[in-house]
């Protein structure tokens, strides 16, 4: 995000003409409030329904009489800088009030959670990351930006780039997984895709990288829980994706709910001012997460709302999402001198700069033609990209005896409620999909010409239907069981203490296996599941996540072999939940897990992942050989020979890892440093080359300083973090 000299002057001029109230208004974000028909605040109404004081039906009746307040009066008076609405005509109306009826005519920045697509819903991020395809990451973000703009949204609360290593945490679904290198590449590509298409004022939005920071490290995987870690861990694992996003020019950042080492990110001056704005150079602004400023009172870091607001703004929190605390208390705080005017000016300058960079002053409205275009349906190229993203995101975990792919002559018994539910394909944080765009697995298989019969039998919730199970087993040559999680079982506030298949789905699989028929399992879920039993007993497992609107097409193509699976895991899968957090790039211990008793292991579970990061099979096979490493001036030149040894074309993700064998701090057993994705015809062989800058071989110490330390390094290349060729090299950094 770069402003020209004229744009900067425009911002300064505007700032100089604003009253304090107008400035604070820019720092206030509103969502539509639900009003009328009830005597308690809306939040309490929700709580009443959640804790059972009123039934869902009663809640529904009350809501039917409610209306939405879009804060038009406050917008007119210059007391609102941002709104969170996704209705394009409503957004035009609100913009018109801001632009034509407020004193200074400053347009609203309109934010929304467009996490993995708007109406064109792509795979959830943990799934899309399995494609290891930076071009795809960027393309899907570019399409999301255009669709957002066409709906009046100019600010996406994405990408979510929290490194996450504990799959109990429901929000693992929203981000690119456990690895800082993949996470950083994902972050960069998403920022480019959202922000860099400047071909028109309707083709880009401001990115909002979130959640800053270490939210993924919440203790016990319980959402909103405390986090604590060393500075070096923060810098090496949790900050890199944010640093990458800042280098790519990300316009804004959302602070995380959690505290880090005792200070909530919302009021954490070191994180916001020193690291984010200072060291990493954020040019735009920081917004709080929803209601997070108020929560600082509950955190016990602020006595009351006033105190929380003062701490937040002084710490560098530029915009308040949803609490009105800035609106209610900052004027008085500035007048009393507890908040310097310079702090307010800095925040407003940042917010206005993003608005100017977005072109909102020239182009505040969505053209009616764009709105109408989407009302006619999704363009074909959007559907095609959704399908491509879904195809690349599936991971073949297991395929014993080459059970997959199936052929069109086999009679398929398709089992599982999730298989026929097009409302479940999009997963968590998809807010604008339309049922008519969504393809269930059943519809996908039927459309692909498979000989398929469907038996619901059971799902993540509820009972098993024995009679349907018996018929499914009886009538098919092969059973395809679709099991997993509903979309509500991952995402925010959806932590699970037991990450096995929920409900009676394991029992369902047992019964299917008892029939003696081959059982192919398709997983549809939002987190790495604990699959010890499944991995042991089921012959073929395809991880399909929540793949977005074209899920059914993609899964059908993979099952029938029209598409050869190519995804590699972006997160390690545990055997049992008790292994969480589990990740391939853990620091070396003095007693690495082994069969001996006094090593880092469990008595009752394996010590390592069931399916490690980077794992993913194909219908063909790849052979790696001749790993060569040499040292050039500033880089390591790495070459490996790759051959497609199978009988069909396939795509492989070649992964390059390193290990710093001895350093002044304990380093990970392996760290991903680069990867590439390429397709090879049957029998084709190729030399793959990486040039790894020596400057990337360092790490951050506990002062947050980057260190390059001479010594022995191991270089690994292979098709997963576990299955690699290895070389050693002594390196001296000049
Ligand atoms: C979530 C954010 C989201 C925000 C606005 C919060 O609850 O943590 O990720 O962007 O709501 O919807």
536 CB neighbour count, 10 Å cutoff: 10
Containing H/E element for 553?
Answer: helix 551-560
- Domain membership flag for residue 52: yes
Predicted structure pTM score: 0.97
- Of 362, 366, 318, give the one whose Cα is nearest residue 339: 318
Q: Would you call 289 a catalytic residue per the annotation?
A: yes
Whether the CB of 223 sits within 6 Å of ligand 1: no
Q: Which residues of the chain have pLDDT under 50?
A: none
Phi, psi (deg, nearest 5) at residue 133: -120, 95
Pocket mutation for ligand 1, best pick of 213, 289, 293 (most atoms within 8 Å of C-beta): 289
Distance CA 723, CA 265 (A): 38
Residue 10's CATH number: 3.20.20.300
257 C-alpha to ligand 1 centroid (Å): 10
Dump pLDDT digits (tens) for 158-172: 999 999 999 999 999
Q: How far apart are CA 247 and CA 192, in angstroms?
A: 11
Distance 321 CA to ligand 1 centre (A): 9
pLDDT at 66: 84
Q: Do 367 and 432 fall into the same domain?
A: no
Apex CA 249: angle with CA 244 and CA 253, to 5°? 80
**Could you tell me the distance, in angstroms and rounded to a whole number, from the CA of residue 112 to the centre of ligand 1?**
9
Encode burial over 4-23: b for 16+ CB neighbours within 10 A, e otherwise. Answer: eeeeeebbeebbeebeeebb
Nearest alpha carbon to residue 288 among 251, 313, 262, 260: 313
Catalytic residue among 74, 289, 320, 370: 289
Residues 325 and 438 in one domain: no
481 alpha carbon to ligand 1 midpoint, in Å? Answer: 34
Which of 109, 216, 290 to mutate to test ligand 1, by most ligand atoms within 8 A of the CB atom?
Answer: 290
The residue whose CA is least distant from atom 7 of ligand 1 is: 290
Instruction: Give the helix/strand (H/E) hosting 372.
Output: helix 368-375
Using CA of residue 16, residue 17, residue 22, residue 28, what is the dihedral sign?
negative
567 shares its domain with 690: no
Among 216, 235, 248, 126, smallest CA distance to 176 is for 126
User: 290 alpha carbon to ligand 1 midpoint, in Å?
Assistant: 6
Q: Which of 50, 69, 88 is the last residue of a domain?
A: 69
Does 454 reside within a domain?
A: yes
Q: Which two tokens stand for residue 50?
A: 């959640």
Largest CA distance in the chain: 80
**Domain membership flag for residue 121:** no
∠ CA 622-623-627, nearest 5°, is 130
Q: Clarify whether residues 425 and 531 are in a common domain.
A: yes
Count of C-beta atoms within a 10 Å radius of residue 663: 18
688 shares a domain with 539: no
- Cα-flanking dihedrals φ and ψ of residue 707, to 5°? -120, 135
What Rg, from alpha-carbon coordinates, does the chain have?
Answer: 26
Which of the listed residues 110, 113, 159, 223 should we mutate to test ligand 1's pocket, taking the one with most ligand atoms within 8 A of CB? 113
> What's the angle, vertex CA 153, arms to CA 149 and CA 159, rounded to 5?
95
**At CA 326, angle to CA 323 and CA 328, rounded to 5?**
85
Ligand 1 nearest-atom number relative to CA 254: 10
* Closest residue by CA, ligand 1 atom 6: 290
CATH number at residue 634: 2.60.40.10
Which of 315, 346, 377 lies at the terminal end of a domain, its last residue? 377
- Is 480 near ligand 1, meaning CB less than 6 Å away? no
Atom of ligand 1 nearest to the CA of 322: 5
Closest ligand 1 atom to 257 CA: 8
Question: Residue 378: its pLDDT value, please?
Answer: 96
Complete DSSP assignment for 188-257: HHHHHHHH---SSTTS--EEEEEEETTGGG-GGG-TT--B---HHHIIIIISHHHHHHHHTT--EEEE-S
User: Could you tell me if residue 184 is inside a domain?
Assistant: no
> CA angle, corner 69, sides to 68 and 70, nearest 5?
110
Q: Does residue 112's CB lie within 6 angstroms of at least one atom of ligand 1?
A: no
**Pocket of ligand 1 contains residue 717 by CB under 6 Å:** no
Pair (276, 311) in one structural domain: yes
Asked if 7 and 54 sit in the same domain, the reply is no
Number of domains in the chain: 4
Mark whether 363 and 423 lie in a shared domain.
no
Closest CA to 221 of 487, 494, 575: 494
Residue pair 313/269 in contact by the 8 Å Cβ criterion: no
What's the N-to-C CA distance of the chain in angstroms?
34
Q: Any idea what the Cα angle at residue 468 is, between residues 463 and 472, rounded to 5°? A: 130
Vertex 161: Cα angle to 158 and 166 (nearest 5): 130
Residue with CA nearest ligand 1 atom 11: 290
**Spatial distance between the Cα atoms of 344 and 112, rounded to a whole number of angstroms:** 24
Name the phi and psi angles at 221, rounded to 5.
70, 15
Domain final residue, candidates 338, 353, 377 = 377
Does 171 sit in the ligand 1 pocket, CB within 6 Å?
no
Q: Are residues 464 and 333 located together in one domain of the fold?
A: no
Name every residue whose Cβ is closer than 8 Å to that of residue 333 and which is 6 or more positions away in sequence: 306, 309, 310, 313, 339
State the angle between helix axes of 368-375 and 134-150 in degrees (0 to 180), rounded to the nearest 10: 110
For 482, list phi and psi in degrees, rounded to 5. -100, 115
**64-76 burial, b for 16+ CB within 10 Å, e for fewer?**
eeeeeebbeebbe
- Does residue 699 share a domain with residue 561? no
DSSP 304: S
439 and 512 in a common domain: yes
- The CA distance from 365 to 731, in Å, is 56
Q: Is residue 204 part of a domain?
A: no
My answer on whether 79 and 57 are in the same domain is: no
Q: Say what the pLDDT of residue 37 is.
A: 67
Q: How far apart are CA 87 and CA 92, in angstroms?
A: 9
Which run of H or of E encompasses 659?
strand 650-660
Range of the domain at 710: 622-731
Which residue's CA is the closest to the ligand 1 atom numbered 12? 113
CATH of the domain at 402: 3.40.50.1700
Distance 485 CA to ligand 1 centre (A): 21
Which atom of ligand 1 sits closest to the CA of residue 111? 5
Distance 289 CA to ligand 1 centre (A): 6
Across 424-529, the runs of DSSP E, i.e. the strands, are 451-455, 478-484, 519-524
Conformational region of residue 462, where left means phi above 0, alpha means psi within -120 to 50, and beta covers everything else? left
Alpha-carbon distance of 3 to 411, in angstroms, equals 61
Phi/psi of residue 438, nearest 5 degrees: -95, 140
Residue with tokens 């879920």: 525
Of all protein residues, whose CA lies closest to atom 4 belonging to ligand 1?
A: 290
Q: Is the CB of 174 under 6 A from ligand 1?
A: no
Q: Is residue 669 part of a domain?
A: yes
Find all residues with CB under 8 Å of 9, minimum gap 6, and list them: none
């Amino acid at each position: 995000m770069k402003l020209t000299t004229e744009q900067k002057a425009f911002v300064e001029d505007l700032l100089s003409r604003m009253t304090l109230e107008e400035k604070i208004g820019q720092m206030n974000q509103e969502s539509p409030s639900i009003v009328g028909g009830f005597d308690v605040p809306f939040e309490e109404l929700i709580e009443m329904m959640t804790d059972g004081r009123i039934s869902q039906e009663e809640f529904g009746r009350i809501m039917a009489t409610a209306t939405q307040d879009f804060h038009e009066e406050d917008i007119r008076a210059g007391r609102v800088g941002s709104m969170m609405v996704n209705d394009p005509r409503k957004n035009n109306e609100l913009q018109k009030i801001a632009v034509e009826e407020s004193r200074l005519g400053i347009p609203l920045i309109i934010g929304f959670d467009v996490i993995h697509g708007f109406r064109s819903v792509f795979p959830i991020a943990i799934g899309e990351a399995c494609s290891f395809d930076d071009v795809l990451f960027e393309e899907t973000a570019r399409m999301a930006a255009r669709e957002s703009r066409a709906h009046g949204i100019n600010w996406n609360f994405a990408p979510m780039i929290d490194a996450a290593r504990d799959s109990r945490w429901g929000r693992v679904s929203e981000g690119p997984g456990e690895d800082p290198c993949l996470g950083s590449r994902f972050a960069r590509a998403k920022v480019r895709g959202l922000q860099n298409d400047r071909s028109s004022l309707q083709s880009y939005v401001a990115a909002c990288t979130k959640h800053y920071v270490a939210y993924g490290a919440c203790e016990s995987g319980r959402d909103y829980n405390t986090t604590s870690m060393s500075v070096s861990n923060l810098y090496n694992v949790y900050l890199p994706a944010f640093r990458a996003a800042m280098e790519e020019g990300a316009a804004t950042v959302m602070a995380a709910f959690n505290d880090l080492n005792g200070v909530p990110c919302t009021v954490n001056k070191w994180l916001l001012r020193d690291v984010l704005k200072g060291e990493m150079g954020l040019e735009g602004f920081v917004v709080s997460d929803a209601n997070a400023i108020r929560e600082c009172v509950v955190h016990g870091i602020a006595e009351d709302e006033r105190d929380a607001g003062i701490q937040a703004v002084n710490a560098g929190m530029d915009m308040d999402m949803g609490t009105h605390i800035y609106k209610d208390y900052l004027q008085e705080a500035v007048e009393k001198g507890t908040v310097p005017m310079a702090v307010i000016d800095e925040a407003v300058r940042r917010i206005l700069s993003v608005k100017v960079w977005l072109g909102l002053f020239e182009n505040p409205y969505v053209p009616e033609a764009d709105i109408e275009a989407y009302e006619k349906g999704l363009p074909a190229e959007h559907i095609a990209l959704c399908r491509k993203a879904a195809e690349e995101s599936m991971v073949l975990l297991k395929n014993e005896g080459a059970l997959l792919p199936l052929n069109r002559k086999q009679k398929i018994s398709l089992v599982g409620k999730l298989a026929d539910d097009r409302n479940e394909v999009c997963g968590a944080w998809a807010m604008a999909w339309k049922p008519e765009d969504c393809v269930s697995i059943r519809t996908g298989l039927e459309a692909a010409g498979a000989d398929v019969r469907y038996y619901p039998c059971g799902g993540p919730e509820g009972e098993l239907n024995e009679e349907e199970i018996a018929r499914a087993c009886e009538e098919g040559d092969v059973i395809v069981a679709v099991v997993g999680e509903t979309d509500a079982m991952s995402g925010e506030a959806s932590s699970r203490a037991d990450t096995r298949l929920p409900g009676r789905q394991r029992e369902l699989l047992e019964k299917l296996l008892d029939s003696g028929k081959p059982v192919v399992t398709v997983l549809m879920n939002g987190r790495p599941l604990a699959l010890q039993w499944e991995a042991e007993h089921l012959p073929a497992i395809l991880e399909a996540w929540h793949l977005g609107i074209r899920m059914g097409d993609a899964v059908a193509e993979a099952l029938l072999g029209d598409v050869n699976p190519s995804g590699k895991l972006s997160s390690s899968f545990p055997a049992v939940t008790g292994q969480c957090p589990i990740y391939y790039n853990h620091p070396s211990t003095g007693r690495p897990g082994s069969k001996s008793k006094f090593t880092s292991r469990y008595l009752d579970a394996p010590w390592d992942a069931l399916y490690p990061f980077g794992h993913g099979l194909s219908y063909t096979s790849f052979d790696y050989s001749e790993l060569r490493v040499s040292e050039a001036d500033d880089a390591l030149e790495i070459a490996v020979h790759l051959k497609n040894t199978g009988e069909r074309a396939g795509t492989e993700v070649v992964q390059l890892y390193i290990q710093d064998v001895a350093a002044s701090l304990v380093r990970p057993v392996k760290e991903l440093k680069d990867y590439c994705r390429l397709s090879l015809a049957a029998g084709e062989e190729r030399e793959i080359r990486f040039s790894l800058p020596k400057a990337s071989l360092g790490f951050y110490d506990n002062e947050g300083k980057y260190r390059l330390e001479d010594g022995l390094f191991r270089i690994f290349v292979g098709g997963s973090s576990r299955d690699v060729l290895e070389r050693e090299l002594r390196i001296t950094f000049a």
